[in-house]
Structure 1
Amino acid sequence: MGADELAKQVSSEAGPTSTDLKMEVQKCPGIEEVLTFAIQSESNWMTPILSYLQDGRLPQDVREARKVRKRTARFTILNDALYKRGFSIPYLKCLDEGEAEYILEEIYAGICGDHTGPRSLVSKIIRTGYFWPTMQKDAREFVKR
């Protein structure tokens, strides 16, 4: 008798089956839920621009307030995210330092990365649709690693 025939015979025989399964219905969660609120107290380069666009708040320093007002003309908020407007380019999503590091890594050495130089890396990031003010410097430092 072959192995296949033996397997068929064993699986087709009705053996003793146990249907004594106990089921417990849990009416409330087994662990306590703790309500938390994510508060981002960290300030980055987008904070003054966002506060001016959303609430009209400017820094106390007159020079800094003037800088923020000038810079804010090139930005807009869409779906609760800050975007930079350009003349001949589409809206660029503004990133903070943590997100920028991830984007640099993905575009430079990710699955479609080609280990380009800093200038072409910056233009590739812009074509992808992202922006942060220190792109040039960050790309130079990233490529040197």
Structure 2
Amino acid sequence: MPAGEVLDFVEKRRLQRAVEVAEEISGLAFSVYVGPGEVPVRRHAERLHAGLKDADGTVLVFCDPAGRSLEIVTGTTARRVLDDFDCRLAAVSMQTSFLTGDVVGGLVNGIQQLGQSARHPETLHTSRIS
């Protein structure tokens, strides 16, 4: 989670915990980048995502608070369980928090929302017809 001097220890730890929970419930990998981006921002976020270890199964949340940019990039495997609608909802939720000045809270809530949206419900029982 490259964050440079943008986030303090407690903020980084909150984001890390949100990532851990989202990964546990969804089975996907999550990566968060908070810091300056290059223009065009979407292309920069896609390049960062492509450089990740398991890009196909990873969701990258890119946030440049100073540049007022937010991008969510999903790999091909991640996209099967996390569609554009889910990502837009999480982005709107994050942006609402950003407007109040709560960047880390917005990211934490958005990451948790993405994890929940991608969650595979547990099957408690199944029936087999012979």
For normalisation by structure 1, the TM-score amounts to 0.23
- Higher relative CO (Cα under 8 Å, sequence separation at least 6) belongs to 2
Q: Which has the higher strand share?
A: 2
- The structure number with the bigger radius of gyration is 1
For normalisation by structure 2, the TM-score amounts to 0.25
